[in-house]
């Protein structure tokens, strides 16, 4: 035991890294498809390890770790957040705001009714509303109050205790509420409503199995006979489905396939597009031929494009294709993913900033089309460290600004400032793709390491006090957590369905997004036997990340009595 105490006093960072590693491993474990999550596991592990001795970490370390995490949240959510401020997504924004404001109101009611201190109230909000970033913004706000060291440490321990007790409960309740309770509150069958939405998206026709019409793309060669004397445009229009004549070979020489080019008997052409359309092209063009030499000359490509063109936000795939215009000729959408989940495809499927399109087509066409949509996702991109660090520094500087309200200094704090800076930097990056690159893998690494390290420092540094608080107020926190989780979800569900008139399937996805619980979307998709709930996630997720994160300073300001 003396050896452990010596290590704790000499190199406490060893235990911080171990807590992150062990908590992450435990958080990945699934029991019947369910996992608690890495953040809660890291906190529990760090609180338990904290019983071994007295850990002390520099405040600078915690500030940097949390700033990395919250800046990344803003960076990822920035384009979606600012793009969501439009009439097309207004209902989803309002629903997320209703949920967040209801949660804040209930936390404040409990705080005043039971005399909760700022730390406990903030931990309750962080856990029950499943938003870990509240821990950091509340902690940052507390440090601005000039509290004595022992009082500040106790407040931070209370944050950790409130979060540890209520997070798992809030997470599980959200997982169950979204797919099972929300549809009952709305009086609908989620599976039936999903089928209706699929039919609506497909123009009233039964949706094609696995969206094969969109996903299967190829090129085939034909020898012109039936199409003699007709233009390229006339043939493409006759076959439909946005098929394209990529190449014309006439007596061994290439002819540029302009829309007004007239085909002659004996021409060999290459037609590309959806498989179903091309297979049916024979009566319109002529017989299919084996011509590997001319097919091989068509350079095909598949690329992923991050949608960041705000003008496309909330528009249908059909509208996007029309806006891209002639540059979309010969380019096809294979998949559309939203927050890592595939979205059902139809001409009326809505596209949002932050979605990732997988485009397929000939190389010379696909890059032109991608330029109208957003940024090509390249795995070899390096993170712009200068942009990252300068952005965080600007956010921390903004967090120093404070305003006096009734004798209480209101401030964003370092966390709030870093969040705002991240939002602006992410938005700026979407406007100027040549600057500030932080690839998705880099974002995830910075976010996970920043949050994990910060949570571990909180748990280790306040382990004894947090454990005492859990033992003293655990039962009360569980009861309050249950209310803080469920009531906002119920209010938001009823408000979205009866007041905002949102589609019930979209509402379920939006609830999961507003609570930032990704796994709840999966549950809704399983119950609906459809991917359509994913359609409602993106905008509420971006808004929820911002709204719930700023609750920390608000709760501290409202509950601090001096």
Arithmetic mean of pLDDT over the chain:
83
Nearest Cα to 287, choosing from 219, 223, 221?
223
Dist CA 19 CA 23 (whole Å): 6
Residue with tokens 């940024």: 375
Equal CATH topology for 226-286 and 301-361: yes
Cα gap 72→66, rounded to integer Å: 10
Burial letters 180-200, b for 16+ CB under 10 A, else e: ebbbebbebebeebbbbbbee
The model's pLDDT over 334-369, given as tens digits with 9 standing for 90+, comes to 788 887 778 877 778 888 888 888 887 766 677 778
The string of DSSP codes covering 485-544 is HHHHHHHHHHIIIIIS---HHHHHHHHHHHTT-HHHHHHHHHHHTSSGGGGGTHHHHHHH
Q: Please give the Cα distance from 491 to 185 (Å, whole number).
A: 10
pLDDT of residue 316 exceeding 90: no
CA distance 122 to 474: 15
How far apart CA 315 and CA 330 sit, in angstroms, is: 21
What is the pTM for the complete model shown?
A: 0.73
Burial 500-536 (b: 16+ CB within 10 A, else e): bebbbbbbbbbbbbbbbbebbbbbbbebbebbbbbbb
pLDDT one-digit tens code per residue, 433-453: 667 888 877 888 898 899 889
**CB–CB of 304/355 below 8 Å?**
no
CA angle in degrees (0–180, nearest 5) for 123-128-130: 95
How many whole angstroms separate alpha carbon 230 and alpha carbon 502? 48
- The CATH architecture to which 301-361 belongs is 2-Layer Sandwich (3.30)
Tokens of residue 16, six digits:
């911080």
3-state secondary structure 8-30: HHHCCHHHHHHHHHHHHHHHHCC
Q: What is the reported pLDDT for 212?
A: 31
Share of the chain above pLDDT 90, in %: 22
What count of Cα atoms within 13 Å lies in the side-chain half-sphere of residue 270? 24
Residue 28 has pLDDT above 50, yes or no: yes
Tens of pLDDT along 508-562? 999 999 998 888 888 898 898 888 888 888 889 888 888 888 888 889 988 887 6
Contact call for residues 528 and 194 (beta carbons, < 8 A) = yes
DSSP state of 479: H
Domain boundaries, the chain: 1-198+384-559, 226-286, 301-361
Residue 271 β-bridge partners: 220, 245
What pairs with residue 31 in β-bridges? 34
Question: What tokens does 338 get?
Answer: 């939203």
Third-level CATH fold of 226-286: Alpha-Beta Plaits (3.30.70)
Check: CB of residue 126 under 8 Å from CB of residue 158. no
Percent of the chain with pLDDT over 70: 87
H or E element in which residue 264 lies: none
Between CA 329 and CA 331, with CA 330 as vertex, the angle to 5 degrees is 95
pLDDT-derived band at 216 (thresholds 50, 70, 90) equals very low
DSSP assignment, residue 288? B
Q: Is the pLDDT of residue 210 over 60?
A: no
CA distance 190 to 197: 10
pLDDT above 50 (res 312): yes
**Which H helix or E strand runs over 92?**
helix 90-114
């Amino acid at each position: 035991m003396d050896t452990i105490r010596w290590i704790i006093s000499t190199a406490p960072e060893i235990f911080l890294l171990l807590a992150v590693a062990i908590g992450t491993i435990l958080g990945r474990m699934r029991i019947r498809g369910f996992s608690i999550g890495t953040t809660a596991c890291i906190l529990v592990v760090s609180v338990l390890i904290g019983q071994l001795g007295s850990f002390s970490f520099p405040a600078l370390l915690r500030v940097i770790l949390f700033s990395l995490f919250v800046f990344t949240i803003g960076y990822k959510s920035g384009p979606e957040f600012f793009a969501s401020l439009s009439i097309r997504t207004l209902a989803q924004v309002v629903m997320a705001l209703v949920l967040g404001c209801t949660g804040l109101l209930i936390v404040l009611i409990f705080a005043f009714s039971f005399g909760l201190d700022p730390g406990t109230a903030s931990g309750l909000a962080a856990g029950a509303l499943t938003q870990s970033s509240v821990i950091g913004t509340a902690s940052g706000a507390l440090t601005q109050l000039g509290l004595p060291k022992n009082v500040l440490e106790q407040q931070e321990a209370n944050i950790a205790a409130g979060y540890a007790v209520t997070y798992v409960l809030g997470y599980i309740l959200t997982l169950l509420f979204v797919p099972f309770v929300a549809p009952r509150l709305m009086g609908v069958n989620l599976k039936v409503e999903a089928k209706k939405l699929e039919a609506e998206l497909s123009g009233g026709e039964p949706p094609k199995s696995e969206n094969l019409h969109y996903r299967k793309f190829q090129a085939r060669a034909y020898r012109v006979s039936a199409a003699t004397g007709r233009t390229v445009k006339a043939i493409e229009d006759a076959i439909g489905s946005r098929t394209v004549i990529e190449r014309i070979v006439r007596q061994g020489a290439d002819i540029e396939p302009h829309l007004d080019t007239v085909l002659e008997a004996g021409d060999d052409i290459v037609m590309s597009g959806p498989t179903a359309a091309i297979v049916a092209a024979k009566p319109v063009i002529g017989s299919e031929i084996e011509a590997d030499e001319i097919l091989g000359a068509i350079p095909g490509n598949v690329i992923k494009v991050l949608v960041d063109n705000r003008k496309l936000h909330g528009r249908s795939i059909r509208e996007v294709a029309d806006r891209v215009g002639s540059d979309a000729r010969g380019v096809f959408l294979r998949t559309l993913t939203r927050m890592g989940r595939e979205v059902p495809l139809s001409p009326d499927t809505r596209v949002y900033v932050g979605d990732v399109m997988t485009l397929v087509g000939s190389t010379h066409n696909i890059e032109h089309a991608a330029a109208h949509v957003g940024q090509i996702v390249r795995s070899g991109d390096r993170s712009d460290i200068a942009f990252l660090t300068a952005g965080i520094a600007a956010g921390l500087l903004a967090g120093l600004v404070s305003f006096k309200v009734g004798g209480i200094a209101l401030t964003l704090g370092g966390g709030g400032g870093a969040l705002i800076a991240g939002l602006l930097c992410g938005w700026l990056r979407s406007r100027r793709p040549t600057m500030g690159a932080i690839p998705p893998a880099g974002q995830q690494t910075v976010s996970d390491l920043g949050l994990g390290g910060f949570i571990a420092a909180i748990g280790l540094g306040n382990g004894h006090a947090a454990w005492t608080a859990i033992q003293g107020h655990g039962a009360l926190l569980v009861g309050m957590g249950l209310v803080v989780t469920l009531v906002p979800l119920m209010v938001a569900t009823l408000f979205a369905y009866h007041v905002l008139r949102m589609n019930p399937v979209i509402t379920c996805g939006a609830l999961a997004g507003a609570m930032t619980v990704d796994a709840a979307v999966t549950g809704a998709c399983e119950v609906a036997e459809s991917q359509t709930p994913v359609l409602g996630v993106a905008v509420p997720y971006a808004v929820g990340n911002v709204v719930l994160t700023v609750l920390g300073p608000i709760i501290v300001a409202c509950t601090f009595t001096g």
